[in-house]
Amino acid sequence: MPLVTVCLRLHQPFRLSPDDATFLWDQKNSEVFQHGARQCYLPLIRMFTELVREHPNFKISFSVSGTFLEQAELYEPAVVEALRELEHSASHQGQVEFLEETYYHSLVSFFPDPEKTEFKEQVALHREKMSGVFGVKPTAFANTGLSYNNEIANTGILSAASAKNSNTSYFLGAGVICNY
């Protein structure tokens, strides 16, 4: 039987301030993130934690942007704790997976830079954030919007581990979109 992996993407952009005095709109960022955490992120993560505990064959992947984690740490640390609990609730390795992505959930992989300098920097920054927050080193990469770029695939910029099960696995991506 083929393996179907559900992938949830958690991303929250920083909002820019409408005035010239500050760059980021901290009050609005906090407001939006805390509301999203109460109405969407925490209930969803807790639901998947229960599914993982009750169904050992259930597998899920999370693509969590660096800006989402920054805001979770700043405005609602319970979201980070819930994600850690989800990972620790897995009965075996591979049941819950955190994916690698660009830090800012950007389309930098499509920039016309033959060296892919900005892309490499964002992926390295994301690796560092994932290691610091969860103590994990992701082994699979998901580009923004699950978009595909032949240049990235053919250059071997990303770890070979990303393709280790590509002949037997299917990947289903879904963004977490909550109306709150």
Sequential pLDDT tens for the chain (180 residues): 566 677 888 999 999 999 888 998 999 999 999 999 999 999 999 999 999 999 988 899 999 999 999 999 999 999 999 999 999 998 787 899 999 999 998 878 777 888 888 888 999 999 999 999 999 998 888 777 766 666 666 665 554 334 443 433 334 444 445 555
Is 161 among the domain residues? yes
pLDDT score recorded for residue 75: 98
Is 180 among the domain residues? no
- What are the backbone angles phi and psi of residue 163, rounded to the nearest 5°? -110, 10
Is 123 among the domain residues? yes
Name the β-bridge partners of 175. Answer: 9
Helix (H, G, I), strand (E, B), or coil: what is residue 103?
coil
Is 79 among the domain residues? yes
Is 26 among the domain residues? yes
Is 138 among the domain residues? yes
Tell me the pTM.
0.81
pLDDT score recorded for residue 53: 93
Amino acid at 127: R
Number of domains in the chain: 1
pLDDT score recorded for residue 116: 83
CATH number assigned to the domain comprising residue 128: 3.20.110.20
CA distance 5 to 96: 10
Strands 96-99, 169-175: pairing is: unpaired
Is 61 among the domain residues? yes
Domain range holding 64?
Answer: 3-175
pLDDT score recorded for residue 168: 33
- What are the backbone angles phi and psi of residue 61, rounded to the nearest 5°? -120, 145
Whole-Å CA distances, 36 to 2, 27, 100: 34, 14, 23
Nearest residue to 38 (alpha-carbon basis) of 79, 85, 83, 84: 79
pLDDT score recorded for residue 172: 40
Name the β-bridge partners of 100. Answer: 141
- How far does Cα 162 stand from its chain's mean position? 15
Are the C-beta atoms of 102 and 42 separated by less than 8 Å?
A: no
